[in-house]
Every structure is written in C-alpha cells, then in structure tokens.
C-alpha cells in the first residue's frame, strides 16, 4: 500500500528532471520528463516509503544515513535532491505534506528559542567535534563559512583569504582599534585582523573545543597580546568596541532573539563604530530549516529572509550602511569542501563510523542544493550607529587585485 501511495506522489509531483526509482519489492519506475537533473535511487528499507510520505525531509536524510536509501553515485544524490527541491517548490506535494510544512513554518519560533543554556548545548553539538576532523576539508585557517571567489581560478585558500580581506575593508580598520568577533570559531579571522591590520580583537565562542584551539593558535603566532578569546555569549559582553564583526553566527541566534542580538551590537559599538554581519539568508519569503538539519546538523539553526532582519536592525537604532548579496560563492565553497572530504575519507573513517560519514556527506550535498535550487544566498550587512561612519562611495572596498594565492599584486596596484 505504501509503495503504491509513494508511486502516486512521485507520478504527480515530478515534472522537472528524470528520476528512476527501485522500490523495496523489486519493482522499478521512471518519473518526470524533459530537461533538468537526472538521478537513480534505490530504496531497500520496506519501512521507508511510509516514512517518506509522513515526513519526507527527515525520512530521506535518515534513510541515507542508515543505508535504506542509496544512490549509484554522488551526482545521483545531488540530482535527486535537486529534483526533490524543485518538486516541493512547485506546489505539487500532497495536502498532508503541505500542511505539515505550514505547521513547521508557524511554529519555527518555538524551535529557535535560544536561552544561554540551550545555545551552549546546540553549539557544542556541532562545533565540539575535534578540530582535526574539520581540518580534513577546510583550509589552514579553518574558515567554516562562505569563501569569496573573486575569480574562478582561485583555490579555497585564496578565496578564504579574499573573504577576510573583504571583511577587513568593510570594517574600515586602522591600527589600535578594538574589535569584537562574535562567534569567532577557531580564531582565524580574529588572528588575521590583528596580524594584518594591527587591531586588538576579542573573540567569543560557546565551544570549549574552539576556544582551546583559538588560544593555542594565538600563542603559536605570538598574538596573545593582541587577541583575546573568551567562552562567552554575546548577551554577556560588557565592553565597548570600535568595530563588531560576526561571520556565520547569526544563523544560530534564532528569530526570537534577533532584537536582543542587534540591541547588544548597538550597545557595545562606539558612537562612530562599524559592524559587519556575514550570514546565510534567503531571497525568498520566510521559510524554515528542514527537520533533518535541525536534528542532526544545526539544532535551532535558521537562515532568515531580509524581511525578518531589517526591522530588528532599525528598531535597535542601527543604520544599514551597505548590503551585499553573494550569489554562487557558497555552492562553490561547498564543492571544494566536498572534494576535500572525499579525498580524506579514509582518515575520516578512522575517526567516525559509516553512519556519521553518510550524515556529513548528505549535509554537504544538501547544503549545496539549498543554494542552487532553494533560494539561499549569503548576505554581508554593514551596519553603524551613524550614517557617516563609513565612506559614501565604495572605492575603499577595492584594494589592489589579488593573485591566486589571495595576496595583493603590487604590480597591478594603480597607486
């Protein structure tokens, strides 16, 4: 019964792309027609058709993790998720699935309620994995956020260096300024800003593993006198700063806390201060993170629409001085991470079991598809307490072109 019901849903729902499915009873069928992504999928778990019908996003992710859902190749997995995303957005899902999605959208605030205790637990679930694991697919600075590919020939290392240089330019830095890095990760950006621009940086995190790694890196680089790392929530910061930067952290704040978040930034910024908020968002109306991502990857995570962010910025008394939308950069970043993850899979396997590996791979592919097919983008929002805190024209954002190592090329500097 459940196989026939799933077949009916696939027959009705898939209009773009071509999908070949083999079911647990040995039967097979093709769905869709015309141009678009293609994929082959094999379902061996007899319980999976029912679970897909009742909770598709959770069932697909868990089915892949447990091995009851498999694909002949990584391209099949990517193509399958693209077909699923386009079908869901086409409004052709059965009424019960649409109602369940609508309920998740209406109750997302409950899932994102983020007290300090909850926030600490959620951060530690994802980021207290040993940094040796992250080092297998990130670059040396352990930048676990979108890179900035100023040209297509850039390596991941060069693009991450370009991202940090771009952020530094938007912060309008000069030696001696005090900078707060909210959600500092393993400290790569904080150390870069101190090393390259002579500023004093305070980085805060809720992950003890990241804190220890960041402090050790600062000591090795001889920057402990200019960079201080704390195990601290943004709501508890008592100091004032000339600059505030937050990269890849607002996705963990939660919509109910947005006002407190921007109120705090206003409170810690000097009168002529400048802030830069780098976050994943969407160019669609507000939606909700999939339940599978909520459970296994980013508990309480959310990527907002601008309509959910800007009103809170305005109410906090902050000025949006500049807003940049990065399109195409995060999917390229994820492709580079995927390539490195696959190349180092034997070393990952020495750390974790097959289920973890399949979970992480599904996450990396699904995240890419969220940018290519589900309206996700990367926003960089420059904010200030005063409109005249930053230059009126963007010339200051365009330093000398970078070479493929992410370094300035003096020969091409017009100065």
pLDDT tens-digit series, residues 79-105: 999 999 988 876 555 555 555 555 555
- Separation between Cα atoms, residue 305 and residue 236, nearest integer Å: 27
The residue whose two tokens read 């868990």 is: 62
SS3 130: coil
Residue 289 has pLDDT above 50, yes or no: yes
* Across 382-394, average pLDDT: 94
Q: Which of 20-29, 99-108, 310-319 has the lowest mean pLDDT?
A: 99-108
Residue 137 has pLDDT above 90, yes or no: yes
Can you give the pLDDT at residue 88? Answer: 81
* Across 184-212, average pLDDT: 96
- In this structure, is the dihedral angle defined by the CA atoms of residues 384, 385, 389 and 391, taken in order, positive or negative? positive
pTM of the model: 0.89
- Separation between Cα atoms, residue 131 and residue 117, nearest integer Å: 23
- Separation between Cα atoms, residue 164 and residue 158, nearest integer Å: 10
- Give how far Cα 90 sits from Cα of 21, 53, 73, 93, Å: 20, 17, 26, 8
Can you give the pLDDT at residue 288? Answer: 81
Can you give the pLDDT at residue 413? Answer: 41
Residue 36 has pLDDT above 50, yes or no: yes
Taking the mean position of all CA atoms in its chain, how far away is CA 8? 35
62 vs 415, more confident: 62
- Separation between Cα atoms, residue 142 and residue 258, nearest integer Å: 27
Residue 332 has pLDDT above 60, yes or no: yes
* Across 19-48, average pLDDT: 94
Q: Give the confidence band of 398 by pLDDT, cuts at 50, 70, 90.
A: confident
Q: Give the confidence band of 110 by pLDDT, cuts at 50, 70, 90.
A: low
- Separation between Cα atoms, residue 285 and residue 262, nearest integer Å: 21
- Separation between Cα atoms, residue 179 and residue 390, nearest integer Å: 16
Taking the mean position of all CA atoms in its chain, how far away is CA 285? 18
Q: For residue 280, count other CB atoms closer than 10 A to its CB.
A: 22
- Separation between Cα atoms, residue 369 and residue 338, nearest integer Å: 13
């Amino acid at each position: 019964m459940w196989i026939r019901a799933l077949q009916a849903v696939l027959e009705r729902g898939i209009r773009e792309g071509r999908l070949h499915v083999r079911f647990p009873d040995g039967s097979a069928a093709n769905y869709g027609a015309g141009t678009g992504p293609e994929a082959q999928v094999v379902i061996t778990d007899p319980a999976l058709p029912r679970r897909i019908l009742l909770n598709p996003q959770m069932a697909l992710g868990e089915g892949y993790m447990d091995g009851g859902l498999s694909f002949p190749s990584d391209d099949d997995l990517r193509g399958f998720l693209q077909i699923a995303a386009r079908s869901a957005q086409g409004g052709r899902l059965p009424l019960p699935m649409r109602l369940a999605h609508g309920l998740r959208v209406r109750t997302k605030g409950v899932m994102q309620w983020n007290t300090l205790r909850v926030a600490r637990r959620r951060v530690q679930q994802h980021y207290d994995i040993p940094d040796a694991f992250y080092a297998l697919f990130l670059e040396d600075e352990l930048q676990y956020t979108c890179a900035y590919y100023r040209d297509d020939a850039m390596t991941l290392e060069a693009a991450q260096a370009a991202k940090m240089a771009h952020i530094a330019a938007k912060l309008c830095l000069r030696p001696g300024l005090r900078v707060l890095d909210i959600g500092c990760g393993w400290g790569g950006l904080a150390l870069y800003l101190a090393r390259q621009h002579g500023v004093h940086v305070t980085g805060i995190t809720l992950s003890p593993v990241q804190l220890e790694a960041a402090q050790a890196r600062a000591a090795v680089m001889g920057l402990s006198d200019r960079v201080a790392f704390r195990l601290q929530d943004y709501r508890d910061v008592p100091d004032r700063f000339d600059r505030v930067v937050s990269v890849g952290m607002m996705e963990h704040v939660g919509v109910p806390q947005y006002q407190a978040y921007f109120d705090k930034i206003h409170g810690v910024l000097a009168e002529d201060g400048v802030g830069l908020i780098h976050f994943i968002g969407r160019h669609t109306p507000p939606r909700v993170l999939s339940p599978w991502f909520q459970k296994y990857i980013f508990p309480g995570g959310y990527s907002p629409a601008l309509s959910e962010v800007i009103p809170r910025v305005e109410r906090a008394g902050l000025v949006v001085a500049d807003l940049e939308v990065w399109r195409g950069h995060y999917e390229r970043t994820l492709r580079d991470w995927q390539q490195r993850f696959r190349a180092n899979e034997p070393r990952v396997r020495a750390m974790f079991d097959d289920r973890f590996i399949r979970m992480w791979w599904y996450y990396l592919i699904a995240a890419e598809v969220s940018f290519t097919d589900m309206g996700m983008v990367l926003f960089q929002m420059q904010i200030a307490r005063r409109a005249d805190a930053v230059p009126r024209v963007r010339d200051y954002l365009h330093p000398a072109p970078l070479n493929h190592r992410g370094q300035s090329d003096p020969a091409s500097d017009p100065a």
